[in-house]
Amino acid sequence: MAHDESEHHGHLKLEYQPGLPMSNGKLIVWLFLSTEIMFFAALIGTYIVIRFGAPAGSWPTPADVHLSEPIGAFNTFVLICSSVTIVLCLDAIHAHKAFLAKRWLIATFLLGGVFLGVKGYEYKQKFSHGIYPRKPRSLIHERANLEYAASVRSLLKEMRAGLDKKKADGELTHEEKEQLDNYTILLNGVVIPAEQVASDPDRSSAERQAALVHLAEYVNGSHGGHGHHDGSMEFPFAAGLQSEKSMLLVEQTQLKNQLKEKPQKEEPQEDPDGDTSSGSQTKTPLDPVQTRLNKIRDRLKGIDKLSSMEHSMNEDFKLHLPIVLPSGNMWASTYFLLTGFHAIHVLVGLIVFVIGILMKLGPEKAGFIENTGLYWHFVDLVWIFLFPLLYLF
């Protein structure tokens, strides 16, 4: 080697030494890994700032966002196994066992594929609950306010209109009929009354806020707070609903008696839309009383529907209504960003494995396998840090 690399400048004999005792490829891979460390440090740092900077108690719990720690642990285990198999592959190459090396490489590839598959399943779970990285698909609202109630109402109306159209065409199946009934009851008995209470200027602001918060709870259940993990929903507002129900029943009988006693008046009185005040009972013509009775009937149906729920509206009736998750959108953004970039890195690793599987492996390929292994171990390292940060904190 010295013979090739020395030069003769007259009487000087220069010999070039390698800068570092490793191949260029390995050096480059280590430099690349250091850039990747910076890349993921930036993303993880962002997540840490956002997550720990959120006001106390307002970050979604894993149960809120349907994050399953056992699945995360399984993924961690899969990646650790794949790290072991790639190292054993390198070992086999050094021991001149090319066939065994290829088998280990295929095992690593398969384990990486399992990881991606489980990740895809997790993503699907999030998407099915309306948790997307951004709007318009994301159904997460930050707080229970009038905008939230309005979006719940409009979505429910849309879904009902869809089924109504099918009904007009005469094509409803039995389940769809049931669904249509549910939509109507929920819309008229739960969502619209809540929205009306919330926008009623005559009520106290505590009542109005409570109506919105209750609506959010009915739609999504309260996983983190009062709900139990075995699925049964402890209804925190059951008492309130029951007392409302008894008040409404009393009012209903009153109004019905009123209807029977009063003679039918022909006054075409205009009833302004959205008039919820029940103060129009004393000298009322027929229409407002009947309207009020209709409203009471719808509300009672809604209360009964709610009381018969096991979990929440979204779960029991297979709806996809908007949900209220404080800091939920931030959570979704950071979660999908971190795991998405990590999944892309896993995918790149899998592509490199395919290239390795298609190659003829031998001792001359030890450098390639070693560098691939370095990259793959780095991907495993990132996941080792991501897993507790995202799932366990």
Partner 1 sequence: MSEEQKKDEAHDQGEHGGGSVKQYIMVFVALCVLTSASFFTYSPYWPFQETPSVGWAFMMAVSCTKALLVMLFFMHLLWEANWKYVLTFPAAMMSVFLVLMLWPDGKMRTSNYSEQRRLHAAEPKDPGDAADEHHENHEPPHNGTEHGHRH
For the CB of residue 153, give the shortest distance to partner 1 in the complex, in Å: 18
Mark 138-172 as b/e (b = at least 16 C-beta within 10 Å).
bbbbeebbeebbeebbebbeebbeebeeeeeeeeb
Residue among 145 and 291 whose Cβ is closer to partner 1? 145
CA distance 239 to 98: 72
Cβ atoms of residues 337 and 39 within 8 Å: no
Counting Cβ atoms within 10 Å, is residue 342 exposed (0-12), middle (13-18) or buried (19+)?
buried
For the CB of residue 59, give the shortest distance to partner 1 in the complex, in Å: 8
For the CB of residue 276, give the shortest distance to partner 1 in the complex, in Å: 17
For the CB of residue 370, give the shortest distance to partner 1 in the complex, in Å: 8
For the CB of residue 385, give the shortest distance to partner 1 in the complex, in Å: 5
Cβ atoms of residues 191 and 152 within 8 Å: yes
Give the Å distances, CA to CA, from 94 to 23, 28, 91, 241, 364: 16, 21, 5, 73, 9
CA distance 48 to 39: 14
For the CB of residue 178, give the shortest distance to partner 1 in the complex, in Å: 30
Residue among 22 and 250 whose Cβ is closer to partner 1? 22
Q: Are strands 12-14 and 7-9 parallel, antiparallel or unpaired?
A: antiparallel
Residue among 244 and 271 whose Cβ is closer to partner 1? 244
Residue among 248 and 374 whose Cβ is closer to partner 1? 374
Residue among 195 and 298 whose Cβ is closer to partner 1? 195
Residue among 146 and 249 whose Cβ is closer to partner 1? 146
For the CB of residue 61, give the shortest distance to partner 1 in the complex, in Å: 8
Residue among 188 and 327 whose Cβ is closer to partner 1? 327
CA distance 251 to 245: 10
For the CB of residue 167, give the shortest distance to partner 1 in the complex, in Å: 37
Residue among 21 and 272 whose Cβ is closer to partner 1? 21
137: number of Cβ within 10 Å: 10
For the CB of residue 299, give the shortest distance to partner 1 in the complex, in Å: 21
Tokens of 241: 């609903």
Cβ atoms of residues 384 and 72 within 8 Å: no
Residue among 73 and 355 whose Cβ is closer to partner 1? 73
